[in-house]
C-alpha cells in the first residue's frame, strides 16, 4: 500500500473541522493530523444567548468533543493532537507544538513539546477578541483561547453578567446589538447602554436594517449613543465597578463594561512573509498561502485567519470545499483546480434582538423579524453545530 500523504490542519474550530472532515471523506490516501489547544469544539456563535441566559441553552448545544467526531476513522487516517502550534519549519516541513497535559504524546505533567511533519499544511487558526483575552472590559469567551477551560470561563462570565445591573457595551456591530438585546430581556433589573463609534448601528448593513436595530433596542429601553467612542475603561477593584470615559467627556460607572469590537488574528506561529499589514494571511483564489506574494503549493489557509474581509460563518463551508478539493486534486493528480470567490457569496447579516425578533438582510433583501427568529434567533444556530462539527454544513 502506498504511503499516506500527511496533511496537518492547525485549528479545530469551524474551518479546521470543515477541511479535515471533507478530506477524510474525499480521499483514502491522506492522513490528517488536527492540532487544537482544546479537545472541544466551541460553537461560539451562540455566545450572546448562553452567556446572558445560561438556562436557555445547555452546554451540550454548544460544546462538542472533537475526537468523538472522528471516531469512525482508523488511527492511521486521523490523529487529534491537543496542543498549541508555536512554529512552522519549512526546512524540515514540520510544525512545533506545545502539547497539553492530556494530549497524545504528552507524558509529563507540565506541557511538553513535539513536532509533526507534513506534506500539506492547512492554517485554520482563526482569530480572537480583546474581550476573550481579558484585554478590554469584562473577560467574556466570545472565542476559544489556548489551553483554556472553556466551561469554567463560560460559567465565570455568566456569573458576572447575571450580577451586573448597570452595563455599558462598547460597539454597535452585530455582536454588540445581539448581546444588548439579550441583556435587555435577562432576569433582574438591568440598565443597558450601547456606545457606537459610527453614526448608525450595524455599519455596513442596509439603511432599513440599521433603523430597525435602533428601534428594537429603544423598545427594550436600551440607551444607544452613536458617534461616540470609549476613550478609557478602568476596573475599580475596591468597588467592583468599571469607570468608563467616553469621547464626549462623559464618564459612566457601571457593573460591567463589555467590549465587542476588535478582532485579533491568531498568528504568533505564522511566518511574517505570509501576513499582510494587519496580520492576516494572504491567500490566492485557490486559498493557497502567498509567501511574499508567491503562492505556496503545500500550504493553504481558511476561515478567519485569511485576509478576506467579512469573516462570516456562512463562508466557511465553501472555503472548506475549495481547500479539500485542491489538496485531493494534488494528491490524486487530477489536474483540476477549485477557486474561491468571496464576492460570489451574497453578503448576509442576521442579527437577533432578544428571543423573538431581530433584523438583517441577505444581499439587498431585508429580513423580517419572524425570519430572523426562525433562522437564528430561536436557538442562535445551535442546530447547525453538529453539522459544522462533521463538516456537513453548506
- CATH H-level, domain 131-261: superfamily: FAD/NAD(P)-binding domain (3.50.50.60)
Query: Given pLDDT bands bounded at 50, 70 and 90, which one contains residue 145?
Result: confident
Whether the per-residue pLDDT at 344 is higher than 70: the answer is no
Whether the per-residue pLDDT at 53 is higher than 50: the answer is yes
Q: Measuring CA to CA, which residue among 34, 37, 131 is closest to residue 86?
A: 37
Average pLDDT, the chain: 93
- In angstroms, the CA 80 to CA 126 distance is 18
Q: What is the pLDDT of residue 16?
A: 97
Render the burial of 279-308: b for 16+ CB within 10 Å, e for the rest: bbbbbeebbbbbeeeebbeebbbbbbbbbb
Per the structure block, which three cell numbers stand in for 188?
433582574
Q: What is the pLDDT of residue 111?
A: 66
As beta bridge partners, residue 177 has none
Which residues are CB-neighbours of 165 under 8 A, at least 6 positions away?
188, 189, 190, 191, 255
Query: For the chain, what percent of residues have pLDDT higher than 70?
Result: 96
As beta bridge partners, residue 86 has none
Query: For the chain, what percent of residues have pLDDT higher than 90?
Result: 87
Task: Note whether 216 and 181 are within 8 A (CB).
Answer: yes
Query: Mean pLDDT, to the nearest integer, of 153-172?
Result: 97
Give residue 111's region: left, alpha or beta (phi > 0; psi -120 to 50): beta
Query: Mean pLDDT, to the nearest integer, of 184-197?
Result: 94
Summarised one tens digit per residue, pLDDT across range 257-298 is 999 999 999 999 999 999 999 999 999 999 999 999 999 999
Q: CATH number for the 5-126+266-345 domain, one of 3.40.50.2300, 3.50.50.60, 3.90.1150.10, 1.10.10.10? A: 3.50.50.60
Q: What is the pLDDT of residue 233?
A: 97
Which residues are CB-neighbours of 361 under 8 A, at least 6 positions away?
205, 206, 208, 209, 348, 349, 367
Q: What is the pLDDT of residue 346?
A: 65
- Identical fold for domains 5-126+266-345 and 131-261, yes or no, is yes
Q: What is the pLDDT of residue 175?
A: 97
- In angstroms, the CA 193 to CA 222 distance is 6
Domain ranges of the chain: 5-126+266-345, 131-261
As beta bridge partners, residue 295 has 290
Per the structure block, which three cell numbers stand in for 152?
469554567
Query: Mean pLDDT, to the nearest integer, of 79-87?
Result: 96
Which has more pLDDT, 304 or 102? Answer: 304
Amino acid at each position: 500500500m502506498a504511503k499516506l500523504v500527511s496533511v496537518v490542519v492547525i485549528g479545530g474550530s469551524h474551518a479546521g473541522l470543515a477541511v479535515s472532515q471533507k478530506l477524510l471523506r474525499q480521499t483514502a490516501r491522506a492522513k490528517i493530523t488536527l492540532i487544537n489547544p482544546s479537545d472541544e469544539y466551541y460553537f461560539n456563535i451562540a455566545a450572546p444567548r448562553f452567556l446572558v441566559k445560561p438556562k436557555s441553552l445547555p452546554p451540550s448545544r454548544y460544546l462538542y468533543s472533537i475526537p468523538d467526531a472522528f471516531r469512525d476513522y482508523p488511527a492511521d487516517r486521523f490523529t487529534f493532537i491537543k496542543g498549541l502550534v508555536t512554529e512552522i519549519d519549512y526546512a524540515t516541513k514540520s510544525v512545533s507544538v506545545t502539547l497539553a497535559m492530556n494530549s497524545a504524546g504528552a507524558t509529563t505533567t507540565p506541557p511538553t513539546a513535539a513536532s509533526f511533519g507534513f506534506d500539506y499544511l492547512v492554517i485554520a487558526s482563526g482569530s480572537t477578541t480583546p474581550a476573550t483575552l481579558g484585554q478590554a472590559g469584562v473577560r467574556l469567551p466570545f472565542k476559544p483561547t489556548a489551553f483554556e477551560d472553556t466551561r469554567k470561563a463560560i460559567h465565570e462570565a455568566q456569573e458576572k453578567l447575571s450580577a451586573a445591573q448597570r452595563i455599558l457595551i462598547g460597539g454597535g456591530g452585530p455582536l454588540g446589538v445581539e448581546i444588548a438585546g439579550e441583556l435587555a430581556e435577562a432576569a433582574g433589573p438591568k440598565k443597558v447602554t450601547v456606545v457606537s463609534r459610527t453614526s448608525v448601528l450595524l455599519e455596513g448593513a442596509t439603511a432599513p436594517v440599521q433603523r430597525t436595530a435602533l428601534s428594537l433596542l429603544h423598545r427594550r429601553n436600551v440607551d444607544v449613543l452613536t458617534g461616540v467612542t470609549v476613550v478609557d475603561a478602568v476596573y475599580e477593584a475596591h468597588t467592583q465597578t468599571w469607570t468608563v470615559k467616553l469621547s464626549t467627556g462623559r464618564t459612566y460607572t457601571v457593573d460591567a463594561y463589555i467590549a465587542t469590537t476588535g478582532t485579533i488574528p491568531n498568528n504568533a506561529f505564522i511566518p511574517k512573509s505570509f501576513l499582510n499589514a494587519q496580520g492576516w494571511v494572504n491567500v490566492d483564489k485557490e486559498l493557497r498561502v502567498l509567501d511574499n506574494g508567491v503562492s505556496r503549493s503545500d500550504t493553504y489557509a481558511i476561515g478567519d485567519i485569511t485576509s478576506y474581509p467579512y469573516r462570516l460563518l456562512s463562508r466557511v463551508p465553501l472555503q472548506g470545499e475549495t481547500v479539500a478539493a485542491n489538496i485531493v486534486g494534488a494528491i490524486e493528480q487530477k489536474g483540476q483546480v477549485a477557486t474561491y470567490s468571496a464576492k460570489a457569496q451574497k453578503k448576509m447579516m442576521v442579527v437577533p434582538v432578544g428571543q423573538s425578533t431581530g433584523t438583517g438582510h441577505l444581499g439587498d433583501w431585508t429580513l423580517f423579524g419572524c425570519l430572523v427568529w426562525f433562522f437564528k434567533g430561536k436557538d442562535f444556530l445551535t442546530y447547525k453545530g453538529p453539522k459544522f462539527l462533521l463538516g456537513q454544513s453548506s
